[in-house]
Amino acid sequence: MIKKILLFGSLAVLSVGCKTSQPVAEAAPEKPKKKSDLKNYDEVITSDAKSDEGLFTTHFVDDKLYFEIPVSLFEKDMLLVSRIAGVPSGFGGGYVNAGSKVNEQVVRWVKRNGNVDMKVISFENQSEEESPIYKSVQANNFFPILFSAKIEAMNADSTSVVIDASGLFENEVDAINGISSRLRKRYKVKKLDKSRSYIESAHSYPKNIEVKHVMTYEAEEPPERDQAGTISMLLNQSMILLPENKMQPRLADYRVGWFTIDKYDYNSEELKADDYEIIRRWKLVPKDIEAYKRGELVEPVDPIVYYLDPATPEKWRPYFKQGIEDWNVAFEEAGFKNAIIAKDPPSKEEDPEFSPEDVRYSVVRYVASTTRNAVGPSVTDPRTGEIIESDIIWYHNHLRSYRNRFMIEAGAQNPKARTLNTPEEEIGEMMRMVIAHEVGHALGLPHNMKASSAYPTDSLRSAEFTKKYGLTPSIMDYARVNYVAQPGDEDVRYIRMMGPYDLYAINWGYRYLPEANSAQDEKETLDEWILAKAGDPIYEFGNGYSGADPQSQRESLGDDQVKASAYGIANLKKVVPNLVAWTSKEGEGYEDLDEVYRELSYMWRGYISHVVTNVGGVYETRKTSDQSGAIYEPVPAKIQEEAVEFLNKEAFTTPQWMLDQDLLSRIESTKAVDRIQSLQTRALENLLEKDRLVRMIAAEETEGIKAYSVIEMMNDLRKGIFSELYNSAKTNSYKRNLQRSYVDLAASYVKELDERENDEILKSDIMALMRGELIKLKSDISRRKNRTNHDLTRYHWDDLIARIDDAILNEA
């Protein structure tokens, strides 16, 4: 193979990165270090040292941490992964938790005269060493030095050097820092307090080093007031030796969902630096390649093994193990058997070296935390995309999320959901599928939010269909509970499960191609597999990030979002009157009732949002240039019109069913009006967002499309929101709030434009549209305002006229 040069580029994860101008943690001396200047090994690593042998030998001497680095490991590629291991309460608004990764970068230890430098390496850019462009790319992508330390001593046979590594972990080094620039600003962080920052532990394993260190920052506004003006956090730095025997990369294709790594090839024949992506995956090679070629199921040389955390409660372990090994069905599609294995944690006698921190062990960690989440991170070799290790994290309080959701979305249909003590079989099945979902991430699969739209909505009411196919074709979709099923739909499945897309994606990413000698050699075969499934919605991928495709939304079910949301709201209406009975416990208050009712309102908001996305929506079908047909198609006008009709009925009419006084009188005194106003205003803001209006206006100008015009939408919306005006009826407080929100929102486009958007909106039709709507509404109110005998309603109409005049006559 042609040797590649490794070139600098950003590998930062999240918001933390390594800057080329960043000062090193300790200045290096300019003069070469003579061997006679070195201390004796015993002078540095004294008899009091606490040592741990492994990849490096780590030594604690008093309060200093020394690395004894074998000379053989100089210039070797290592992955430095920075994670948060402990955070103060409320840090990041509760969205930054223990286990969160803050950076991931490749480093090399390099000997320079009497010093050792840690350099940051990137594999994003590359060029063939023999190419004329090689020197230019090398010169323009210089590797930065993250840390430098002088050599203190050498071991007896000069096969390793000793450096003081304390400065890397006790000083503030941006590239391994746990506080992002955004949070530094939010908490008004001033500086690191070195007197309260220290190294807590260091452990060495055969393939990795793990260092935990406490960093304490002075902050004017820490997340909790009782933190004495400081933020202390525990960071974990993992340094992992990358494989010498590199896995052959596999080129990514945006038509199949995978986590990817960006690459740039400066030797491309294209008239530019050729950008491409490779997928992230475990290295699976069949033990018997000839049998594999014959189509037999073959075990991999190195299967993927997950151990359960010793802290995992015994009763949940079978469900966790099932969730892990569920993926074997998908790997069998790729020709492997027993490709993924779940194991109980070994005892000291069975494996005295077992540690969740050891990179040789992938672990499903059970974390005692109030966080309601689970995550499936992994550690990847950026040179090839090979996943080296992963730790699935299950936070204990995630059980709370699922018991609540099961009650809210299935309580109307399923008697087993009508308690907060969800039966073990049901909650266990939910946990199993959550673990399977997170393992999917750790195998390389991102969310596929488009999967759910492949199934007809009414099919989710069928026992036969749901038991065979689940709720969506992919467990990587967000479709947790079957809210489409209605009372009387017997024996349907309520919990998601693995589907046909998952098998397809795993086969595409993991099937071993023994005849291919390079990633490019595989491309024709991979393309053929995609084209064989083209046009079948079961095998389509969409990540849901655009916000414009109604078929690619989180938590949505079925191909008809209006119908699915109607089913979901019908169930909520049956649940609300029963919540007091279902959540009450003798001798206790109504905290659970308050929590479940609040979450029910969030789900109502989600159902409404699913429908809103149809308005001005665009279907996306991922294709390449060799495939016929359009990638983007506007949602048909009839569907958009039906969506607005639904919104007028369910979102912009006062939801009296949510105002159950028997329930509300137990949890609050006056918040109901504000809650409904917030929910309705949010739906209205979503419907009238700038990008949606721009798409609708553009669709009207597209030849061959019968569009649902933005004027039609505004007319339909106005008639719904202001139905009392047109029916000469009095308004209630809920509706008056919504009508004020409508006027204020339209007025904001006219007079309160954000500076960053001024130019774009001023040059679009949105300003003219909203000014015209306000003038039309003012005319209608002026002619009709006195047709009611309700004084407060008349005052309200006058107030709206004043607001409209203020917007139109006093534009900024």
Summarize pLDDT for 32-50 with one digit per residue, the tens: 455 557 999 999 999 999 9
Residue 389: pLDDT band (50, 70, 90) is very high
Q: What is the mean pLDDT of residues 82-87?
A: 85
Residue 474 has pLDDT above 90, yes or no: yes
Instruction: Find, among 551, 723, 708, 568, the residue nearest to 632 by Cα.
Output: 551
Confidence (pLDDT) at 394:
87
Per-residue pLDDT, 11: 34
Mean pLDDT of 577-586: 96
In the predicted model, what is the mean pLDDT of residues 485-509? 97
Characterize 79-113 residue by residue with b for buried, 16 or more Cβ atoms within 10 angstroms of its Cβ, and e for exposed: bbbbbbbbbeeebbeeebbbbbbbbbbbbbbeeee
pLDDT at 271: 45
Average pLDDT of the residues in 716-729: 96
CB-count exposure of residue 502 (10 Å: 0-12, 13-18, 19+): buried
- Average pLDDT in the 453-470 region? 97
Mean pLDDT, rounded, for 671-694 = 93
- 474 contact partners, CB below 8 Å, separation of at least 6: 448, 451, 498, 499, 501, 502, 505
Specify the pLDDT at position 5. 35
Distance, in Å, from the CA atom of 633 to the CA atom of 624, rounded to the nearest integer, reads: 16
Percentage above 90 pLDDT, the chain: 71
* Angle made by CA atoms 664, 670, 673, in degrees to the nearest 5: 90
Burial of 5 (0-12, 13-18, 19+ CB in 10 A): middle
| 208: its two tokens | 């990795």
Q: Which DSSP state fits 386?
A: B
Asked if residue 206 has pLDDT above 60, the reply is yes
Based on DSSP, count helices (H) and strands (E) in the chain, helices before strands: 25, 24
Tell me the percentage of the chain whose pLDDT exceeds 70: 89
pLDDT range class, residue 302, cuts 50, 70, 90: very high
Per the rule left: phi > 0, alpha: psi between -120 and 50, beta: everything else, 295 is left
Q: Is pLDDT above 90 for 477?
A: yes
Return the amino acid letter for 230: T
Q: Strand ranges (DSSP E) for 676-727?
A: none
Mean pLDDT, rounded, of the chain: 89
- pLDDT tens digit string along 126-179? 544 455 444 444 444 567 899 999 999 999 999 999 999 999 999 988 888 888
Residue with tokens 């139109």: 808
pLDDT at 367 over 70: yes
Q: What is the predicted pLDDT for the residue at 577?
A: 97
3-state class percentages of the chain: helix first, strand second, coil last, to nearest 5:
40, 20, 40
Beta bridge partners of residue 650, listed in sequence order: none
pLDDT tens-digit readout, 772-811: 999 999 999 999 999 988 999 999 999 999 999 998 876 5
Which pLDDT value is given to residue 36? 58
Q: Look up residue 418 and give its DSSP letter.
A: S
- The helix (run of H) or strand (run of E) holding residue 6 is strand 4-7
For the ranges 63-77, 97-111, 577-591, which has the lowest average pLDDT? 97-111
User: Could you give the strand order of the β-sheet that contains 274-279, starting from the edge strand earlier in sequence?
Assistant: 4-7, 125-128, 260-265, 274-279
**End-to-end Cα separation, the chain, in angstroms:** 65
**H-only helix segments in 72-147:** 134-139
Query: Does 519 score more than 70 pLDDT?
Result: yes
pLDDT score of 739 more than 80: yes
H helices of 418-576, where?
424-443, 463-469, 500-510, 519-533, 561-575
Determine contact, residues 204/57, Cβ cutoff 8 Å.
yes
Q: Return the minimum-mean-pLDDT range out of 226-235, 439-448, 742-751.
A: 226-235
Residue 575: is its pLDDT beyond 50? yes
Nearest of 138, 126, 80, 386 to residue 246 by alpha carbon? 386
Any idea how long the chain is?
Answer: 812
With bands split at pLDDT 50, 70 and 90, how would you rate the model's confidence at 125? low
Tell me how far the alpha carbon of residue 287 is from its chain's centroid.
Answer: 35
User: Which 8-state DSSP code applies to residue 221?
Assistant: S
Amino acid letter for position 11: L
The helix (H) or strand (E) run that includes residue 477 is none
State the pLDDT at residue 134.
Answer: 43
Look at residue 356 in the predicted model and tell me its pLDDT.
82
Write out the two tokens for 16: 């933390």
- Find tokens 């955004």 and name the residue: 182
Q: How far apart are alpha carbons 230 and 220 in whole angstroms? A: 8
Return the residue matching tokens 């506080």.
179
Nearest CA among 554, 666, 566 for reference residue 613:
554
Grade residue 709 by pLDDT with cuts at 50, 70 and 90: very high
Which range (94-108, 357-371, 436-450, 472-486) has the least confidence?
94-108
Q: Is the pLDDT of residue 594 over 70?
A: yes
In the predicted structure, residue 9 carries a pLDDT above the cut 80: no
What is the phi-psi region of residue 257: left when phi exceeds 0, alpha when psi lies from -120 to 50, beta otherwise? beta
Q: Are 57 and 208 in contact (CB under 8 A)?
A: no
Q: What is the DSSP letter of 14?
A: T
